């Protein structure tokens, strides 16, 4: 099966490409390389284009005629979204409108969409189920929720089916160290903790140590990026088998604290993690972890590599190779 991977030169998209190729499918990457990396495109052709340009999209659909699309081309850094909301709405929402128009013109009717637990906002109860009210508290979450609503509207009116996967904390790297997380700037906990341990860039910033948790730091649900990639393949297969559109969480159902992550980094690297304590960031809930019942029921999904040690070890193996 040939699948168009929009944003396939980025972190999650490149791992999905690898997983597709490993099972014999052909990923075609569509990316403008503004945030992704040419060297991460290794398992199929790269078509350079902008998701907001109809001519670029029409050209890739005409040339490759994919059976389905997976979408990863979004601005994701929460602070940037608060500073530059117009850019986020332009890429994250207007870009999807443009993509959906091209899919309709090409009669391509299946989409797996990269959504986020940020659409829930501050949780009212835990674990977070898919029926939790969606009240996002930042621009990033609001743009992803807007796309979810757009997809539901289109699916109710046309021959179009989609899966919206609400990620929790994507982390880790390909176990062979071939690809990994390369954001610039990097805002995610595990790569920043590894950088601090390796002496690259100074102490890590730890935001808040007075939360109502076991050790005072936030707890989050970390999902290994290759497990996340496999969830995408399962969602694609379900849609290709004729299933109706659906949404589901993709996480582990287990929360790890920031300090637990730092302990894991020190255990894996054998190095201390220097950090500076800062005030809480506005809107950070103490705990955030998924109810995973729906992903098990719909996708048969069970993470295989999302224990904290494996996540940190795989990320460390990748960074040792590129640093």
Tell me how far the alpha carbon of residue 92 is from its chain's centroid: 13
Q: Name the DSSP letter for residue 243.
A: P
The DSSP-derived string for 250-293 is ES-S--EEHHHHHHHHHHHHSS---EEEEPPPTT--SEE-B--H
Q: Helices 139-157 and 95-105 sit at what angle, rounded to 10 degrees?
A: 20
Which positions ≥6 away from 84 have C-beta within 8 Å? none
Predicted pLDDT of residue 281? 85
CA separation, residue 316 to residues 14, 116, 245, 268, 312 (Å): 18, 25, 37, 8, 6
Tens digit of pLDDT at every position of the chain (323 positions): 999 999 999 999 999 999 999 999 999 999 999 999 999 999 999 999 999 999 999 999 999 999 999 999 999 988 898 999 999 999 999 999 999 999 999 999 999 999 999 999 999 999 999 999 999 999 999 999 999 999 999 999 999 999 999 999 999 999 999 999 999 888 899 999 999 999 998 999 999 999 999 999 999 999 999 999 999 999 999 999 999 999 999 999 999 999 999 999 999 999 999 999 999 988 788 999 999 999 999 999 999 999 999 999 999 999 999 99
| pTM of the predicted structure, to 2 decimals | 0.97
Q: 2 is written with which tokens? A: 């040939």
β-strand partners of 177: none
Is the dihedral angle over the CA atoms 266, 270, 276, 281 positive or is it negative? negative
Task: Please give the domain boundaries of the chain with CATH numbers for all domains.
Answer: 2-171+222-250 (3.40.50.720), 189-220+253-322 (3.90.25.10)
Predicted pLDDT of residue 87? 96
Q: Are 226 and 174 in contact (CB under 8 A)?
A: yes
Predicted pLDDT of residue 214? 92
Catalytic pick from 140, 162, 167, 289? 140
Residue 167: active-site member: no
H helix intervals, 90-217 = 95-105, 139-157, 189-197
Which positions ≥6 away from 88 have C-beta within 8 Å? 75, 80, 81, 139, 140, 143
């Amino acid at each position: 099966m040939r699948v168009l991977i929009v944003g396939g030169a980025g972190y999650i998209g490149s791992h999905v490409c690898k997983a597709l190729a490993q099972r014999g499918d052909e990923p075609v990457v569509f990316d403008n390389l503004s945030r992704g990396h040419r060297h991460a495109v290794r398992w199929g052709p790269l078509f350079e284009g902008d998701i907001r340009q109809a001519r670029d999209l029409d050209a890739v659909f005409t040339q490759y005629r994919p059976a389905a699309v997976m979408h990863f081309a979004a601005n994701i850094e929460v602070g940037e979204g608060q500073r530059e909301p117009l850019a986020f709405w332009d890429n994250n929402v207007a870009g999807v409108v443009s993509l959906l128009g091209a899919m309709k013109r090409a009669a391509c009717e299946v989409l797996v969409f990269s959504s986020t637990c940020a659409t829930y906002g501050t949780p009212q109860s835990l674990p977070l189920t898919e029926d939790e009210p969606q009240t996002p508290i930042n621009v990033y979450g609001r743009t992803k929720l807007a796309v979810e609503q757009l997809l539901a509207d289109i699916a109710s009116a046309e021959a179009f089916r989609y899966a919206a996967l609400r990620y929790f904390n994507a982390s880790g790297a390909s176990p062979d160290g071939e690809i990994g997380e390369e954001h610039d700037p990097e805002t995610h906990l595990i790569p920043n903790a590894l950088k601090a341990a390796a002496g690259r860039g100074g102490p890590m910033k730890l935001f808040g140590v007075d939360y109502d948790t076991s050790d005072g730091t936030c707890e989050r649900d970390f999902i290994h990026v290759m497990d996340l990639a496999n969830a995408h393949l399962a969602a694609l297969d379900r849609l290709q088998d004729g299933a109706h559109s659906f949404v589901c969480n993709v996480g582990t159902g287990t929360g790890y604290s920031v300090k637990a992550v730092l302990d894991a980094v020190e255990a894996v690297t054998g190095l201390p993690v220097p950090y500076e304590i800062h005030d809480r960031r506005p809107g950070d809930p103490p705990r955030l972890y998924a109810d995973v019942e729906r992903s098990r029921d719909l996708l048969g999904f069970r993470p295989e590599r999302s224990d904290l040690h494996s996540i940190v070890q795989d990320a460390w193996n990748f960074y040792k190779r590129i640093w």
